[in-house]
């Protein structure tokens, strides 16, 4: 089986539908029931083996394959494809007991104990040997099995073991630093070790940043974050290479953990290693606008690779188990969220997990089949979703229509803000990005959320929100985009530090000062509960700045507070484009007018219908297009469209009715 170029297997049955299956938790009688229920629900894909290591390799190099062969065969006979996982997320107890040195060490220098998952250090050579051995063994046994359509390396790499401070990690960090900086003098300059006299004499002095009695150098901490990301990527590569060496030719991926703010690794650097971008996503029940958070994260997944569809590897059918209050999803919400991901470019909707566990840490994490069994609202919705995905299967392989708008997001920039003492602690620097995404989406301008390595000149409107740390080269790339005709909007807390987390002196916003034509002499965070008004009537909370213009026009000013009369929002012509600066954290209601002004300046217009309460997204491919219409409101809506509606099978000529909380998919034309 070969890859079609999309990253997903050529023999995929349209949109992938199913989820993690853990047959080792159940008797074989339950296996038969499960496969019958999967068939009823229209499941075409299960992720198998994620936590099965201790049931496959029952002792060091002692293997029991028969039971696994049986379930692989049963799934194949039922026509259900397998996303085969390497089970390295859950090292077996015999390995932890015999080789405890693979278990991570915390910042206090204390080694954790076995009993959980992801109990391994990515720098440990013993771990490398055992993890690649199990990957190779699985690849050799099932690499050419017709049921195995793709491979899934480990699970949520770094989602609990991101940072380890053992001596192997120190040795690897030392080597990483030497490769990055080449000389110890260069490292000392990059990290600013003259502060507190923390100068290094040689690379032998460099070690993992174990806890000290005080705060630590934010440049060193950012470097360790980058190192940890590279070590996790190295673990993915080792297991992937072991699979390839065993003869695996089908696509290989792993499930990334994207959030609005970023994640445990710098995934922009991982994309070239993945045959398909795959993510896990879980909404937060306490978020009243969780569908907007979902849209942002889906835009971020799409933005990692605009040339191929991506895949939703995990989400929940109902409640999760790890939030303070784990409310179930409302009627229709699971279907709506699943199709929202598909609208935004996913070629399927997979869940954790198929059947809810009766025991273990995740026993109250929902499954497609809940504890109460199939005669439930939840399972009936699963069946309904399977039917809808089958009817909409023709969209597989298509892409979301190209956007002319992008929000630039960078995971290391968020790490840089979080490392070290800052003017406003615990401030969510990612908040501005989500607010701009919501405002633009409401106007039918679906933005991509892209890393700095993206093709920035392809966009007419670029939003740069809270990009705290940035390299000179990346700042120059954004300036070139403006010069070429883009409208570039930079918000507060952008460009402050360089790529090593050193503050850029000479006035904020540092890297963007010349582009924007402004000079910020003082950062002025507000005290808790305080706010200030702008002359436009907008209200700012949490963050303001004392700035003056050097070569920019004032668009809005502070109307009260200590900065009354000074500029708050500016604009500067740059070549064929323009550069705007927003120095205040403007609340959503007041942001609306600014967004309208920026959109008008950029010349971008909506390409999808704009109807209150409706999220509209278009996928295109093969000369056809599909308009997804998702009703997040409690009222029925009517939306302009023409073609054939795939959920109901009815023709659409001019208008389509979208029921409250419902989804419609129109094949246009």
Catalytic (active-site) positions? 156, 314
Compute the distance between CA of residue 11 and CA of residue 149 in angstroms, rounded to an integer. 8
Cβ atoms of 621 and 397 within 8 Å: the answer is: yes
Compute the distance between CA of residue 427 and CA of residue 400 in angstroms, rounded to an integer. 33
Compute the distance between CA of residue 392 and CA of residue 16 in angstroms, rounded to an integer. 11
Beta strands in 363-457 (DSSP E): 399-400, 405-408, 448-450
Q: From 470, 572, 466, select the one nearest 511 (Cα to Cα).
A: 470
CA separation (Å) from 529 to 308, 541, 542, 563, 663?
Answer: 45, 8, 8, 17, 39
Compute the distance between CA of residue 470 and CA of residue 500 in angstroms, rounded to an integer. 9
Residue 392 CB: number of other CB atoms within 10 A? 22
Which tokens hold the place of 562? Answer: 């200590």
CA separation (Å) from 209 to 174, 212, 476?
Answer: 11, 8, 32
Compute the distance between CA of residue 240 and CA of residue 139 in angstroms, rounded to an integer. 10
Taking the CA atoms of 216, 218, 220 and 222 in sequence, report the sign of the dihedral they define.
positive
CA atoms within 13 A on the CB side of 424: 17
Cβ atoms of 140 and 148 within 8 Å: the answer is: no
Cβ atoms of 443 and 606 within 8 Å: the answer is: yes
**DSSP designation for 252:** E
Phi-psi map region of 643: left, alpha, beta (phi>0 left; psi -120 to 50 alpha):
left
């Amino acid at each position: 089986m070969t890859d079609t170029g999309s990253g997903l297997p050529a023999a995929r049955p349209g949109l992938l539908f199913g989820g993690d299956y853990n047959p080792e938790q159940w008797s074989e009688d339950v296996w038969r029931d499960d496969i019958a229920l999967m068939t009823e629900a229209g499941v075409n894909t299960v992720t198998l083996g994620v936590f099965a290591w201790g049931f496959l390799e029952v002792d060091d190099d002692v293997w029991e394959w028969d039971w696994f062969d049986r379930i692989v065969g049963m799934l194949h006979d039922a026509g259900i494809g397998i996303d085969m996982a390497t089970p390295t997320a859950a090292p077996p107890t015999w390995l932890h007991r015999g080789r405890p040195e693979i278990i991570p060490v915390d910042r206090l220098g204390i080694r954790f104990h076995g009993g959980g998952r992801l109990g391994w250090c990515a720098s440990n050579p013993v771990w490398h040997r055992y993890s690649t051995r199990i990957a190779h063994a699985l690849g050799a046994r099932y690499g050419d099995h017709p049921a195995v359509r793709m491979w899934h390396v480990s699970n949520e790499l770094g989602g609990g073991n991101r940072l380890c401070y053992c001596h192997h990690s120190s040795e690897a960090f030392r080597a990483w630093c030497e490769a990055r900086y080449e000389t110890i003098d260069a490292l000392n300059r990059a990290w600013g070790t003259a502060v507190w006299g923390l100068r290094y004499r040689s690379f032998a002095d460099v070690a993992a940043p174990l806890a000290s009695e005080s705060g630590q150098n934010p440049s060193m901490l950012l470097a360790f974050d980058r190192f940890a990301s590279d070590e996790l990527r190295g673990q993915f590569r080792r297991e992937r290479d072991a699979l390839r060496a065993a003869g695996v030719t089908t696509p290989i991926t792993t499930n990334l953990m994207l959030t609005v703010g970023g994640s445990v690794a710098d995934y922009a650097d991982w994309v070239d290693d993945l045959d398909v971008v795959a993510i896990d996503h879980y909404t937060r029940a306490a978020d009243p606008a969780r569908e907007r958070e979902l849209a942002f994260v889906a835009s971020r997944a799409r933005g990692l690779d605009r040339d191929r569809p991506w895949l939703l590897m995990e989400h929940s059918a109902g409640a999760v188990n790890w939030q303070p209050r784990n409310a179930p999803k409302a009627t229709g919400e699971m279907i709506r969220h699943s199709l929202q991901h598909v609208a935004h470019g996913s070629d399927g909707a997979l869940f954790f997990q198929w059947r809810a566990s009766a025991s273990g840490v995740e026993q109250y994490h929902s499954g497609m089949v809940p504890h109460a069994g199939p005669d439930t609202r939840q399972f009936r919705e699963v069946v309904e979703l399977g039917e809808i995905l089958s009817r909409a299967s023709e969209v597989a392989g298509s892409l979301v229509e190209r956007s002319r708008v992008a929000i630039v997001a960078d995971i290391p920039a968020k790490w840089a803000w979080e490392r070290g003492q800052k003017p406003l602690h615990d401030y969510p620097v990612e908040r501005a990005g989500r607010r701009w995404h919501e405002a633009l989406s409401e106007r039918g301008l679906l933005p991509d959320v892209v890393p700095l390595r993206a093709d920035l000149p392809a966009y007419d409107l670029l939003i740069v929100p809270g990009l705290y740390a940035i390299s000179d080269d990346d700042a120059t790339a954004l300036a070139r985009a403006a010069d070429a005709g883009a409208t570039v909007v930079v918000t507060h807390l952008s460009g402050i530090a360089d790529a090593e987390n050193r503050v850029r002196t000479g006035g904020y916003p540092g890297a963007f000062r010349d582009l924007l034509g402004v000079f910020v002499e003082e950062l002025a965070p507000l005290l808790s509960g305080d706010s200030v008004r702008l002359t436009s009537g907008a209200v700012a909370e949490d963050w303001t700045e004392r700035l003056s213009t050097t070569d920019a026009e004032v668009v809005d000013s502070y109307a009260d507070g200590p900065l009354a009369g000074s500029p708050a929002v500016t604009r500067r012509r740059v070549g064929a484009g323009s550069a705007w600066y927003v120095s205040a954290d403007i609340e959503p209601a007041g942001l609306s007018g600014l967004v309208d002004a920026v959109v008008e300046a950029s010349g971008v217009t909506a390409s999808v219908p704009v109807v209150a309460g409706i999220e509209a997204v278009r996928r295109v491919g093969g000369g056809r297009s599909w308009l997804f219409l998702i009703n997040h409101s409690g009222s029925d809506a009517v939306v302009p469209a023409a073609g054939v509606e795939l959920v109901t099978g009815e023709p659409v000529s001019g208008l389509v009715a979208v029921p409250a909380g419902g989804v419609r998919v129109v094949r246009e034309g």
